[in-house]
Chains A and B, each alone.
Chain A
């Protein structure tokens, strides 16, 4: 396990008989207490396919049921049950002649990071742009890795918007993703868009993209709900 931010941790799991997965898929995690009480939540897989372990990135939700356990109580050697991987709709499978637009709000960046890692592992050349909305620089998950990726070229561009506070000298976007911001950032080519995050965020972004002329069938959405606690 390792921290990504103050509230977010990545857990690396050894999973017996893991069949492999595709970037973008998720697992359902089930915890059982010793009196039989159970709780279940879905978490996106953060790692690219083929790695030795399955990595899940979990954000601690205050008053959550499962996330406080996974981020604060669980330690190496603990066990829980997984179902999956599931999800063939929201997976990295780009048209090599197109472009890809990844839009993530908060922990919605997790499956998008799996896609970015998969893209790197595959040496995919498809031009890809990530728009990542976070509350502050301290809340950016995978911050160092994203900064390194952005500086390596290889057709991956990363745009951050920090909606609540920005570090000194910040020249990037500092507001919620709106239609105007999208008109400046979304690729103008016929891109395939993967959009992930809390429902209000993704539905507002999807509506704006459609308003800008993006075809709804080219926008794939994965909503994270309040049940993700």
Chain B
């Protein structure tokens, strides 16, 4: 049993409606920055986003081409496995559905790959049907580098390590390939409502 420190409360909010907060999470108004490595700084004229792997043909968008695609502004709650949840975050980006339009594949999985080498794996079914975006705007401003700018993957129904920062593309795969954290203790799927934080949860 840990020793209780009298009077310690921390900085969480305790006024949020409980049905919006996944189990074991605490609500914050901050936006903590957690990074697994140095912030990449790819110049936009060298940046691209590609869909590769088990596809009929590769797709590629330059930064300008990505920005020219129809985008959405969405408000979602996000939950990090380190126990903070942030409600009503506002993002702007391109739905992954739009990027996958016309892509023929038999793959059931994908790996998102990023500047700096980070990867995360997802079932294809979890990034379609309006569940995922390539997001380049946060809270009405361009996404800052420390939060994954110029663009990050946004998959709000799963723990936020799946919303890969500095995303550069999706590699569609026939088999599920655990990514950076999934290969070292973090849960392969990561549903916050089932508290799927670690292997075996």
In the complex, the answer to whether A33 meets B4 with C-beta atoms within 8 Å is: yes
* Known contacts A37-B12, A37-B26; is-contact A81 B7 (Cβ 8 Å): no
Cβ of A79: which chain B residues have Cβ within 8 Å of it?
3, 5-6
In the complex, the answer to whether B26 meets A32 with C-beta atoms within 8 Å is: no
Cβ of B5: which chain A residues have Cβ within 8 Å of it?
31-33, 69, 74, 78-80
Q: Which residues of A41-74 are within 8 A (CB) of B? A: 63-65, 69, 73-74
Give the Cβ gap from A199 to chain B, nearest Cβ, in Å. Answer: 12
Number of inter-chain CB pairs below 8 Å:
46
Q: Which residues of B1-54 are within 8 A (CB) of A? A: 2-12, 26, 30
Name the residue in B4, B5, B26 with the highest tally of chain A Cβ atoms < 10 Å from its Cβ. Answer: B5
Cβ of B10: which chain A residues have Cβ within 8 Å of it?
31, 33, 37, 39, 65
CA distance A30 to B2 in the complex (A): 9
- State the majority secondary structure of interface residues on A: loop
* A38 beta carbon closer than 8 Å to chain B: yes
Give the Cβ gap from B109 to chain A, nearest Cβ, in Å. Answer: 34
CA distance A81 to B4 in the complex (A): 9
Cβ of A180: which chain B residues have Cβ within 8 Å of it?
none
Cβ of A17: which chain B residues have Cβ within 8 Å of it?
none
Cβ of B3: which chain A residues have Cβ within 8 Å of it?
32, 79-81
* Known contacts A37-B26, A63-B11, A65-B11; is-contact A78 B6 (Cβ 8 Å): yes
Beta-carbon nearest neighbor of A80 in chain B: B5
- State the majority secondary structure of interface residues on B: loop
In the complex, the answer to whether A38 meets B2 with C-beta atoms within 8 Å is: yes
Name the residue in B3, B6, B12 with the highest tally of chain A Cβ atoms < 10 Å from its Cβ. Answer: B6
Give the Cβ gap from B22 to chain A, nearest Cβ, in Å. Answer: 15
Cβ of A65: which chain B residues have Cβ within 8 Å of it?
10-11
* A189 beta carbon closer than 8 Å to chain B: no
* A6 beta carbon closer than 8 Å to chain B: no
Give the Cβ gap from A78 to chain B, nearest Cβ, in Å. Answer: 5
Cβ of A30: which chain B residues have Cβ within 8 Å of it?
2
CA distance A104 to B4 in the complex (A): 34
In the complex, the answer to whether A32 meets B2 with C-beta atoms within 8 Å is: yes
Beta-carbon nearest neighbor of B29 in chain A: A63
In the complex, the answer to whether A69 meets B8 with C-beta atoms within 8 Å is: yes
CA distance A11 to B2 in the complex (A): 21
Beta-carbon nearest neighbor of A226 in chain B: B33
Beta-carbon nearest neighbor of B34 in chain A: A227
In the complex, the answer to whether A32 meets B4 with C-beta atoms within 8 Å is: yes
Beta-carbon nearest neighbor of B83 in chain A: A37
Cβ of A95: which chain B residues have Cβ within 8 Å of it?
none
Cβ of A64: which chain B residues have Cβ within 8 Å of it?
11
* A145 beta carbon closer than 8 Å to chain B: no
Chain B interfacial positions (CB closer than 8 Å to A): 2-12, 26, 30
Chain A interfacial positions (CB closer than 8 Å to B): 30-34, 37-39, 63-65, 69, 73-74, 78-81
Nearest 3 interchain pairs by C-beta? A32-B2, A31-B5, A31-B8
Could you list 14 examples of A-B contacts with CB < 8 Å? Answer: A32-B2, A32-B5, A33-B5, A33-B9, A37-B10, A37-B12, A37-B26, A63-B11, A64-B11, A69-B9, A78-B5, A79-B5, A81-B2, A81-B3
Further 9 A-B residue pairs, CB within 8 A, beyond A69-B9, A78-B7, A81-B2: A32-B3, A33-B10, A37-B9, A37-B12, A38-B2, A39-B8, A69-B8, A79-B3, A80-B8
